[in-house]
Structure 1
């Protein structure tokens, strides 16, 4: 019995397992952190991720871009404006002034753009006249007003408007009236006033507008033709142009 008790008191089947003398951190392989990352020297991996000097990546001293010059900013503004549609020199100058670009830099940048043909007011005016006349049916008077609003010089605008003559205006006015008549209904007198007003808003002189509508009504039907016969286009045009 004594021997058996002695056996039990020793390292037998019921003996407590020996306590490990290893530290919990020793359970990981040498040189590896609990997260599975290896160390180099005495610097843990997590600490090595920080940039030298404590700066976040991409924010180190010396990585900032140099400040943009006023000329570079002016060119950038112009290119953004021109990417939307062609602009006149006056439009670009106004856009630069709104951004507080100095007059000296504005003149310098726009002079250079003039030299290389990036801006060309004469070409702008010609394209504008062609597009707005054929696309919207605008007459010379309305086109001249639009070019003035875009800052085109009066002489340059006049040269562009020379591409349209009286015959062009008369033909365009008649085409506009014919197209509008397809969807316009009512008494001939009301239709007449409505269509003459439409042409006037597009810049057509009173004589051109009245004649275009009269001729279109004469070709429409018997009732409209009878009304058209009573219209004295010249007298109405004189009344419209009389300032009194």
Structure 2
């Protein structure tokens, strides 16, 4: 997981709580800084200020979510992780992502289908696609038509053969190198070993 985004610091001083340093998302800090220049924004108490901060954070989180999903599709877990990494509170993030799911902005099945098709075209094997879907919070078994509508045993082997055939052979541990390469691309051990043998047999023939 990537590290958290940079944070801003809000300094709050009150009689009951003394001086406090609150860590907030940078976007929230910028919004507060802009509001501070407006004489109409003058919270009369610590509670009023913290309420305003929460509401601003909610608006900033919503804006950030719209920006993210406007660029590409996200899975539910992936979007949640991204917003949390930006520093927004979990209850705000959960509420926003839940609403996005309800209205169809976020759809794990749609995301998974598009992801799987793109990775099949990129030469990934079934196992690697399944691992990456799981890492994004999606169980492959929950994807309609997976794997039959996306990959077949024959297609899987042909894609592995196409990839392996483009590898340069050096005459040193070629079989082991081909098997490791294909396994790293998500092809099963059975397919990887079979294809490696075929590539070497062709080269020797």
TM-score normalised by structure 2 residue count = 0.66
SS at match of 2:106: coil
2:160 to 169, 173, 176: 173
Q: Return the structure number with greater relative CO, CA threshold 8 A, min gap 6.
A: 2
What runs of 5+ residues in structure 2 fail to find an aligned partner?
1-36, 43-51
Partner of 2:69: 82
Q: Distance in 1 between matches of 2:170 and 2:114?
A: 38
Count of aligned pairs = 158
Pairs within 5 Å for 1:211-230: 211-220=194-203, 224-225=204-205
Q: Distance in 2 between matches of 1:147 and 1:60?
A: 47
Q: In the alignment, is the contact (CA less than 8 A) between 1:170 and 1:208 conserved in 2?
A: yes
> What displacement does 1:153 show?
3.2
Partner of 1:143: 129
> What displacement does 1:102 show?
3.7
Q: Deviations over 1:196-236 (max 9, x none)?
A: 2110111211221122122223333xxx13xxxxxxxxxxx
SS at match of 2:187: coil
SS at match of 2:156: helix
TM-score normalised by structure 1 residue count = 0.56
What runs of 5+ residues in structure 1 fail to find an aligned partner?
1-58, 226-244
Larger radius of gyration: 1
**Structure with greater strand share of residues:** 2
> What displacement does 1:86 show?
1.8
